[in-house]
């Protein structure tokens, strides 16, 4: 069993738990600390360090971020403080926690976890995971391999609006839509994605996945299948741990003596 601490940074809460990366199961209850006002890097960094201390965790840590993450830098901040843009957040968290931290976009983490352990387990081909919450996050996975940072919540839809401004769960609340009216918007968005990517399966996640009985019958697609996410609010934590485990595995392989040096010849 390989145990990695997964931490999921969200707009209202930062949650963590140790994960068995072989089974994708959390080993304890999640611990949640409210996101500090404004979600500025310094405040968030302190909460991440507090979670690591809370679990007394020694090994690598995986952390999700609700924006673009490329080579350890956070490059966008749609729903958090703009101070994240261009920041070496990997280094910030690594220094604050004293652990080897791996950072990943929140929807990418949820996507990896759903594809391996959740609603996409055993599905081959193209799986597209969408998280509907404050924004819309996306993960594109082909035969278990992730194409990171697809950011399809920012696809322009309906004039000059980003899809997430019009079809997220926050838009549903803001515009006081009933589930049928929201599902009509979500269907328009999903049909556009269907045209662009032809996924074999859509997995619909985020906060709304708990209420699938309210929207499921109102979503209409042309050719793809869709299912509600299975891991719900654990998916980000599990995916963060998976990606930290992958990186730690890569490092171990690099450090191992090569077969030739090891005297195989």
Binding residues (CB under 6 A) for ligand BGC: these are: 66-68, 76, 78-79, 105-107, 131, 135, 137, 151, 153-154, 164
Q: Are 226 and 46 in contact (CB under 8 A)?
A: no
Minimum distance, C-beta of residue 135 to ligand BGC, in the bound complex (Å):
3
Q: Are 114 and 203 in contact (CB under 8 A)?
A: yes
Nearer to ligand BGC, 118 or 206 (CB): 206
H helices of the chain, where?
A: 41-55, 89-97, 106-117, 163-167, 169-174, 179-197, 212-215, 235-255
Nearer to ligand BGC, 84 or 117 (CB): 84
CA 158/CA 64 separation, integer angstroms = 29
Minimum distance, C-beta of residue 206 to ligand BGC, in the bound complex (Å):
8
DSSP letter at 141 equals E
* Residue 55: C-alpha distances to residues 24, 87, 239 (Å): 18, 26, 18
- Six token digits for residue 91: 């280094």
Q: What is the largest CA-CA distance in the chain?
A: 71
Nearer to ligand BGC, 18 or 65 (CB): 65
- Six token digits for residue 58: 């020694």
CA 192/CA 207 separation, integer angstroms = 22
Nearer to ligand BGC, 57 or 134 (CB): 134
- Six token digits for residue 53: 């201390």
Minimum distance, C-beta of residue 237 to ligand BGC, in the bound complex (Å):
14
Nearer to ligand BGC, 18 or 209 (CB): 209
CB-CB neighbours of 53 under 10 Å: 10
Nearer to ligand BGC, 44 or 68 (CB): 68
Minimum distance, C-beta of residue 176 to ligand BGC, in the bound complex (Å):
21
Pairing relation of β-strands 225-228 and 201-205?
parallel
What distance lies between CA 73 and its chain's CA centroid? 16
- Six token digits for residue 76: 């966008």
Nearer to ligand BGC, 63 or 248 (CB): 63
Minimum distance, C-beta of residue 168 to ligand BGC, in the bound complex (Å):
8
Minimum distance, C-beta of residue 264 to ligand BGC, in the bound complex (Å):
45
Minimum distance, C-beta of residue 115 to ligand BGC, in the bound complex (Å):
16
């Amino acid at each position: 069993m390989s145990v990695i601490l997964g931490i999921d940074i969200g707009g209202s809460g930062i949650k963590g738990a140790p994960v068995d990366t072989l089974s994708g199961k959390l080993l304890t209850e999640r611990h949640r600390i409210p996101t500090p006002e404004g979600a500025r890097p310094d405040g968030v960094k302190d909460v991440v360090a507090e979670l690591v201390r809370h679990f007394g965790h020694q090994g690598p840590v995986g952390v999700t971020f609700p924006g673009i993450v490329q080579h350890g830098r956070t490059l966008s901040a749609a729903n958090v403080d703009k101070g994240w843009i261009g920041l070496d957040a990997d280094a910030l968290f690594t220094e604050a926690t004293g652990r080897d931290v791996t950072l990943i976009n929140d929807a990418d983490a949820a996507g990896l976890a759903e594809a391996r352990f959740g609603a996409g387990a055993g599905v081959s081909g193209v799986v597209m995971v969408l998280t509907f919450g404050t924004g819309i996050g996306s993960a594109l996975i082909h035969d278990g391999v992730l194409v990171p940072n697809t950011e399809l919540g920012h696809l322009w839809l309906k004039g000059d609006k980003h899809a997430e401004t019009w079809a997220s769960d926050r838009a549903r609340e803001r515009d006081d839509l009933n589930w049928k009216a929201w599902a009509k918007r979500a269907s328009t968005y999903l049909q556009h994605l269907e045209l662009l990517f032809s996924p074999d399966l859509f997995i619909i996640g985020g906060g709304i996945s708990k209420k699938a009985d309210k929207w499921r019958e109102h979503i209409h697609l042309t050719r793809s299948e869709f299912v509600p996410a299975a891991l719900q609010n654990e998916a980000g934590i599990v995916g963060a741990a998976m990606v930290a485990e992958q990186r730690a595995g890569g490092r171990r392989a690099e450090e191992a003596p090569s077969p030739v040096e090891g005297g195989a010849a």
